[in-house]
Structure 1
Amino acid sequence: MLQGLIAKLAVQHDLNDAEMLQLLTSTDSETNKLLAAAADKQRRAVYGDAVYIRGLIEFTNYCKNNCYYCGIRAGNCHVERYRLTKEEILACCAEGYALDFRTFVLQGGEDPYFTDERMCDIIRSMRAQHPDCAITLSIGEKERASYQAYFDAGANRYLLRHETALDEHYGMLHPASMSLANRKRCLFDLKEIGYQVGSGFMVGSPWQRPENILADIRFLQELQPDMIGIGPYITHAQTPFADKPSGTAEQTLRVLSMLRLLFPYALLPSTTALGTIAPNGRELGLQAGGNVVMPNLSPVSVRKKYELYANKICTGEEAAQCIVCLKARVEAAGYRVVVDRGDVKR
């Protein structure tokens, strides 16, 4: 029965709600294997065995928001806060370029210090230093004019997870000052401006039901993003959700494979969170349909300070050591790291 649904999903790239829920809720141990095999076949048809690397630069862990699940939330007084200077960011990029990175991801909390003027100056400097590279931003909710300014300065891509597509659930995960409507507004503004847009959600977040994941999928079908980032929810002790269970690698891998079949063209990261919750999680993510990994280019001195969730991996290795190790692990999983911007193939 489920094998037939997987075959149908692989051909039609969609299922009705009841069929989708059957796959999401199945406890059959073979389901993940069948989904992963179908997803791998689909990714190879579009992207071959290529794995794209993104150089992640976590440039500030200050954040004005108090999202209940996040370790760098404003209300966490145990965080040692930091900001990288423009010169430090450019040094990370230079090191990354020498290691064959052709996409850089500037990720940070929603830090008011980094005004549009400061961000545009950083982006223009990155663009001048590396004109052949893609610049991705992941700095949260902004006004449309800000997104336009970053784009005009040279940014190409923007990552902004919607986290959950139902208002009620969104309100359980975020303070009243934040809204799903505004998050969606941001995503559609970014698309209209011309960014390659990434969205996504946590798997196994508190109070998440299969119907929530179904709603996430339907929203993504409406948005049609270029990139979809999912990972298991991982509990952090210094949040209101300290006693909530984390998500599982099994469910995350299942959803990842379904997303590959639903969105054959999408860039799907095999996330650090997946590698954190399972020792070979990133390799399993690649074998389940993922085709992007995001090694950390941040200075080693600050990596442990950017702790969105507990026990985050890759907080101690130098970038050069990390990429050598990562290439070996990718090859052992049956793929190859390529020197490429890794633009979406539609």
Structure 2
Amino acid sequence: MHNTVSKKDPQESTLIMERTQLAELLAKAEKAEPSELTDQEIVALLGLTDPEDCRMLKDAAFRRTTALMDPYVYYRGLIELSNICTANCRYCGIRKANHDVKRYTMTKEEIVEAAVWAADNGYGSVCLQAGERRDEKFIEFICECLREIHLRTKRPMLPKGVGVTLSLGDQREETYRRWAKACGNPESIRYLARFETSNPELFNLLHSTPGTNEKNLEHRFECLRSLRRAGYQLGTGVMIGIPGQTLEDLCRDIRTFQQLDVDMIGMGPYLKCEGNDLESLGQMEPKALLQLALNMIAVTRLVMGPINIAAATALQAIRDDGREMGVEYGCNVVMPNLSPQRFRKGYQLYDNKPCLDDEPTHCASCLERRIESRGRLVGWNMSGSSRRFLRRVGRPDEVRPIKEFTAEGKRLIRLHSV
């Protein structure tokens, strides 16, 4: 078991501050656009552990989220279409070298039907996720799925079909462009490619089996630049609590989000996985890991402002209501799993992955109640494009002013979505 800590001695650093100082700092962070937080202040906020201090951070991030954006949490229906992977990332449960995993690929019909179910049930977007492959057969297979999804998910409330997020690993720019064209809805195409950590040594720990160099951090950044050139809403993220990671590393990760000017972020706690190459290093104590992950979400919201931040399923692996806690700390996207049950146990990137046996209908209704219990609403039939992206390309916001809605709730949300 390991701990993620600052290189500084907390007793001799600015990690501990008076509560009045914290209140002043958070008040400044809530209002400043762009963020004026210094690296020292970011590290201090990331290192908060006192329950009352963490509550203050949570409340500030929640207020900033709803003030800059809207009260809605967007559903991205997750379709884990294949666990076949050519990469050998040391932390991952579906790495190529894990021969205990039963490999699968969903058929085009199964993938499209999952997306159709999403459209029929008010989801504004889906996420297609799979292990990394670069062969032509796979590339064209994704193109075919995207074309069919576009054709079959058009609805009065979704005239261009569901928005699509892809999470399919490192690819050539030509491939990114082919997929963007095939989706038929370039205004709502997104890609999630996490750089995982901005620390090159930690990146190599995660990716390079001793004596090899399977992945390169600079190449990952070049993939992100390629995605931006190809017109995607740019998504990335990191793992929180990697063995040997410091609070300063996490601060640099946030600065990297700024430098990349990302539109959306998907990040969560580092969780060990049976059968991977880093299992012996263990992980942080769960309670501390969860709080650190939530702090990272909140501080990222305060720094980055109107971007999309997903509540990772990995939060729920630590605590049953972990996703909802993520919403309280600044997330505005959740990803209910729409993959057929028979495939889910084959797509375990980490131990204790939740929702392996949940039906999509039960999951959606249960999650809606949970989200509403935390003071937010589900954005039915909304693609949920990043506000930062919309402003960059000069497009209007996706939803009409909040004053047009009343307490009647979901029915009006459905009617007023655009």
TM tier, shorter chain? over 0.9
TM-score, scaled to structure 2: 0.80
- Counterpart among 172, 182, 204 of residue 143 in structure 1: 172
- Counterpart among 133, 136, 161 of residue 162 in structure 2: 133
User: 2-side partners of 1:27 and 1:100: how far apart?
Assistant: 38
Match of 2:121 in 1: 99
Match of 1:121 in 2: 144
Alignment check: 8 A CA contact 1:60 1:111 kept: no
1:239 aligned onto 2:276: yes
- Describe the superposition over 1:25-70 as per-residue Cα deviations: whole angstroms up to 9, x where unpaired: 2333322211111111111112332110000000000111111111
- Counterpart among 254, 278, 298 of residue 319 in structure 2: 278
CA RMSD of aligned residues (A): 1.4
Match of 2:63 in 1: 41
Between structure 1 and structure 2, the one with the greater Rg is 2
1:174 aligned onto 2:200: no
Residue aligned with 1:212, SS? helix
In the TM superposition, what are the counterparts of 1:330-341 in structure 2 within 5 Å?
Answer: 330-339=371-380, 340-341=382-383
- Counterpart among 337, 360, 364 of residue 319 in structure 1: 360
Gaps of 5+ in 1: none
User: 1-side partners of 2:304 and 2:24: how far apart?
Assistant: 19
- Cα drift, residue 283 of structure 1: 1.2
Match of 1:9 in 2: 29
Match of 2:48 in 1: 26
Residue aligned with 1:62, SS? coil
- Cα drift, residue 117 of structure 1: 1.9
Alignment check: 8 A CA contact 1:234 1:246 kept: yes
Corresponding pairs, count? 346
Match of 2:394 in 1: none
- Counterpart among 343, 348, 353 of residue 302 in structure 1: 343
Alignment check: 8 A CA contact 2:308 2:386 kept: yes
- Cα drift, residue 112 of structure 1: 4.5
Worse-matched range after superposition: 15-24 or 188-197: 15-24
1:292 aligned onto 2:340: no
- Cα drift, residue 116 of structure 1: 2.1
- Cα drift, residue 71 of structure 1: 0.4
Worse-matched range after superposition: 285-294 or 2-11: 2-11
TM-score, scaled to structure 1: 0.96
Match of 2:244 in 1: 207
In the TM superposition, what are the counterparts of 1:188-207 in structure 2 within 5 Å?
Answer: 188-207=225-244
Gaps of 5+ in 2: 1-20, 154-159, 389-418
Alignment check: 8 A CA contact 2:88 2:214 kept: no
Residue aligned with 2:238, SS? strand
User: 2-side partners of 1:338 and 1:17: how far apart?
Assistant: 34
User: 1-side partners of 2:40 and 2:231: how far apart?
Assistant: 35
Worse-matched range after superposition: 21-30 or 64-73: 21-30
- Describe the superposition over 1:196-215 as per-residue Cα deviations: whole angstroms up to 9, x where unpaired: 11111111012211121111
User: 2-side partners of 1:31 and 1:200: how far apart?
Assistant: 25
Residue aligned with 1:295, SS? coil
- Cα drift, residue 129 of structure 1: 1.5
Alignment check: 8 A CA contact 1:271 1:293 kept: yes
Residue aligned with 1:269, SS? strand
Match of 2:395 in 1: none
- Counterpart among 59, 68, 76 of residue 90 in structure 2: 68
1:342 aligned onto 2:384: yes
- Cα drift, residue 7 of structure 1: 2.2
CA separation of 1:37 and 1:237: change in aligned 2, threshold 3 A:
same
Alignment check: 8 A CA contact 1:232 1:246 kept: no
User: 1-side partners of 2:112 and 2:41: how far apart?
Assistant: 48
Identity of aligned residues (%): 37
Q: What residue identity is the alignment partner of 1:89?
A: I
In the TM superposition, what are the counterparts of 1:156-167 in structure 2 within 5 Å?
Answer: 156-167=189-200
Alignment check: 8 A CA contact 1:135 1:157 kept: yes
- Counterpart among 221, 225, 230 of residue 184 in structure 1: 221
- Counterpart among 309, 332, 355 of residue 268 in structure 1: 309
Worse-matched range after superposition: 180-189 or 326-335: 326-335
